[in-house]
A and B are shown apart, each in its own frame.
Chain A
Amino acid sequence: QQQVKQSPQSLIVQKGGISIINCAYENTAFDYFPWYQQFPGKGPALLIAIRPDVSEKKEGRFTISFNKSAKQFSLHIMDSQPGDSATYFCAASSNTDKLIFGTGTRLQVFP
C-alpha cells in the first residue's frame, strides 16, 4: 500500500509563530505534492503544491519545502494567524490522476 505519513496529528501555535507540518513518502514515482486546507464543515481546498524539480515553493505566508533524497516534504506557515486554524492534509500522486492523502494535522492558532 502506497502511503504518505503525516505528522504531527495536532499542533498548537501562538499567533505570529511558525507552524510546521511534515510528510514522508516511500514511492519514488510520486511527482506531485499538494497541500490541502480544510475548515470544519467544508471540503478540502488546495492550498499550495510542488513538483520535485524544485526544493521550495512559497505563496504568501505558506511555503513547501521538498527534500527529494529524504523523500520528505513539509508545509511552513509563517506568522500564523487564528484564521489559519484548520486541518491540513498533505498528498502525493504519480501521474495516475489519483491522490494519496496523509492522515491530516489539526492546527490551532491561539491569539
Chain B
Amino acid sequence: DAGITQSPRHKVTETGTPVTLRCHQTENHRYMYWYRQDPGHGLRLIHYSYGVKDTDKGEVSDGYSVSRSKTEDFLLTLESATSSQTSVYFCAIIASGVRDTQYFGPGTRLTVL
C-alpha cells in the first residue's frame, strides 16, 4: 500500500454538511492525488498536488477543495456535501523516482444522504 492510509474509511453524512477526508503517507512522496470511483466512470481525478501548498484541479474538481500544508498529508474537503458526491474516494501517490507509477490507498466510502 506504499505507506498510504486514508481516514475515515467509511462515512455517512447529510446533504449540506462539510466533510474532510484525509490521506496520509509516511515516505515523503512529492506527488499526491485524489480520485473518485463511480460505476461506469472508472477513476476520475479530483485534485492533485506536486508539493506543499502546490495543488491543482483535476477533471472533476467542482464542489471539492484540497490542502497540503505538510508533505505527508493531503486533505480533500467537500464544503457542502451533495448526494452526487456519494462515491468511493482514493488517494494515490507517485513513488519518488518512479515516473508515472501511481500507488493507491485503501479508499474511503462516503455516503451523502
Contacts and interface: CB of A to CB of B under 8 A. Distances in A.
Interface of A: 1, 6, 9, 32, 34, 36, 41-46, 49, 89, 93, 95, 97-99, 101-104
Contacts of B31: 97
A94 to B, nearest CB: 9
Interface residues of B, number: 25
Contacts of B59: 1
Contacts of A32: 99-100
B48 interface: yes
Given A43-B1, A43-B107, A44-B90, A99 B42 contact: no
Given A43-B90, A98-B48, A89 B42 contact: yes
A32 B101 CA distance: 9
Interface of B (DSSP majority class): strand
B40 interface: yes
Nearest to A2: B59
Contact of A103 (B40, B58, B94, B103): B40
A28 B42 CA distance: 21
A110 B105 CA distance: 29
Given A97-B94, A97-B100, A99-B100, A43 B105 contact: yes
23 contacts: A1-B59, A34-B100, A43-B1, A43-B105, A43-B106, A44-B90, A44-B104, A45-B103, A46-B101, A46-B102, A89-B42, A95-B100, A97-B50, A97-B99, A97-B100, A98-B33, A98-B45, A98-B58, A99-B45, A99-B102, A101-B43, A103-B41, A103-B42
